[in-house]
């Protein structure tokens, strides 16, 4: 697999994790997602970032099935 492509996927994962952590800072309980005016929007945006992470992992694995096995803590 092209190292630059893997780097891009890993940067997407890293960026998404940082964004998720930032957005979760305001959440103290599950109810915050439904009791706050922007709660559902926040939940949607976090869900989309989780999807980006999943798709990036799938794409890495699709292009090189053995790549992730080099990192046991991921698999």
Q: Is residue 74 part of a domain?
A: no
Gap between the Cα atoms of 66 and 52, Å rounded? 21
Q: Is residue 54 part of a domain?
A: yes
Assign 22 to helix, strand or coil: helix
Instruction: With a cut of 90, say whether residue 66 has pLDDT above it.
Output: no
Q: Is residue 51 part of a domain?
A: yes
Q: Is residue 48 part of a domain?
A: yes
Instruction: With a cut of 90, say whether residue 56 has pLDDT above it.
Output: yes
In this prediction, residues 17-46 reach a mean pLDDT of 93
Write down the pTM of the prediction: 0.82
Gap between the Cα atoms of 25 and 32, Å rounded? 11
Specify the pLDDT at position 52: 96
Structurally, the chain folds into a number of domains equal to: 1
CB < 8 Å & 24+ apart, contacts of 4-10? 5/63, 6/60, 6/64, 6/67, 9/56, 9/57, 9/59, 9/60, 10/56, 10/60
Specify the pLDDT at position 70: 80
């Amino acid at each position: 697999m092209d190292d630059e492509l893997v780097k891009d996927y890993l940067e997407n994962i890293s960026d998404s994790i940082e964004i998720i952590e930032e957005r979760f800072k305001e959440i103290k309980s599950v109810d915050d997602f439904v009791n706050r005016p922007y709660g559902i929007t926040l939940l949607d945006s976090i869900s989309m970032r989780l999807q980006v992470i999943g798709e990036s992992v799938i794409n890495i694995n699709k292009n090189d099935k053995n790549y992730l096995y080099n990192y046991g803590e991921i698999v």
